[in-house]
Structure 1
Amino acid sequence: MKKVTMMLLAVVLVLGLTACGSKTNTDKEQSQKKNQGQTQGQTPGQTTTNVDVQAVYKQNCLACHASDLSGQVGPNLQKVGAKRTPEEISNIIHNGGNGMTAFKGVLSEDEIKALTDWLAAKK
């Protein structure tokens, strides 16, 4: 009889713990869905698409254009927005050229748009 009671208690305990864990995950998922598509307080370098543009730049562009955008292998981008239109900047990021790798298919369209907007503002 004690074994049956202990087994029943163990089953109830496991089910109780499982239910608690599921509720926490469900709450997190609901919170994430609720926040999708909403513009929250933006931090510098973060766009309305929630792309951390500085992280994308650091991971994909820094080696050729330097941390301060002054250029190394690639050209200086510190005032690229004064020299090129957003469409030209986007085209270069998408298709590459003059030794630059094409990032179409490597970066998402949101990441390319964020980089384009960020660079176009550099005047």
Structure 2
Amino acid sequence: MIKKITFVLGIVMALTACSSGGDSEGEKSGTMDTASAEKTFKQNCASCHGNNLEGGTGPALKHIGKEDSKADILKQIKNGGGGMPAGLIQGKEAENVARWLAKKK
């Protein structure tokens, strides 16, 4: 029962943390904007994955780039799975976060 409550609370927190940021120069050009990626992550992902990528209700992401490519990470963000809701971040923000996380080796 506690696991179900924790899972539901994680989803609720993640969904309430959703926000749409403005376009930054890095997002417009298709290059990674680290500050924007970190901000998007903290607003949308940190409630489950931890402010320092240490994990929580979601897995740790400190070294996710060793395991998964940017494409793999982006697919997970878009499609969700394993307890993660799909589409918490979208478009250029999702691509920017995936690129940033892929560099975590």
TM-score by length of 2: 0.66
Q: Please give the alpha-carbon distance, in whole angstroms, between the structure 2 residues aligned to 1:95 and 1:69.
A: 20
In the alignment, what sits opposite 1:72? 56
Residue identity over aligned pairs, in percent, reads 33
Q: Which of 17, 21, 40 is the matching residue for 1:56? A: 40
How many aligned positions are there? 78
In the alignment, what sits opposite 1:107? 89
Q: Which of 78, 83, 88 is the matching residue for 1:94? A: 78
TM-score by length of 1: 0.57
Whether the 8 Å contact between 2:78 and 2:90 is mirrored in structure 1 is: no
Deviations along 1:3-56, one digit per CA (max 9) or x if unpaired, are xxxxxxxxxxxxxxxxxxxxxxxxxxxxxxxx8x579xx9x723xxxxx11111
Q: CA RMSD in A?
A: 2.2
2:29 aligned with 1:45, yes or no? no
Q: Could you tell me which amino acid in structure 2 is paired with residue 93 of structure 1?
A: I
Which runs of no fewer than 5 residues in structure 2 stay unpaired?
A: 1-24
Deviations along 1:40-94, one digit per CA (max 9) or x if unpaired, are xx9x723xxxxx1111101100100001101000001000000011111110000
The structure with the larger Rg is 1
Q: Please give the alpha-carbon distance, in whole angstroms, between the structure 2 residues aligned to 1:38 and 1:109.
A: 13
Q: Could you tell me which amino acid in structure 2 is paired with residue 118 of structure 1?
A: W
Q: Which stretches of structure 1, 4 residues or more, deviate above 2 A after TM superposition? A: none
Which runs of no fewer than 5 residues in structure 1 stay unpaired?
A: 1-34, 47-51
Q: Identify if the C-alpha distance between structure 1 residues 90 and 68 changes in structure 2 by more than 3 Å, giving closer, same or farther.
A: same
Higher RCO (C-alpha under 8 Å, 6+ residues apart): 2
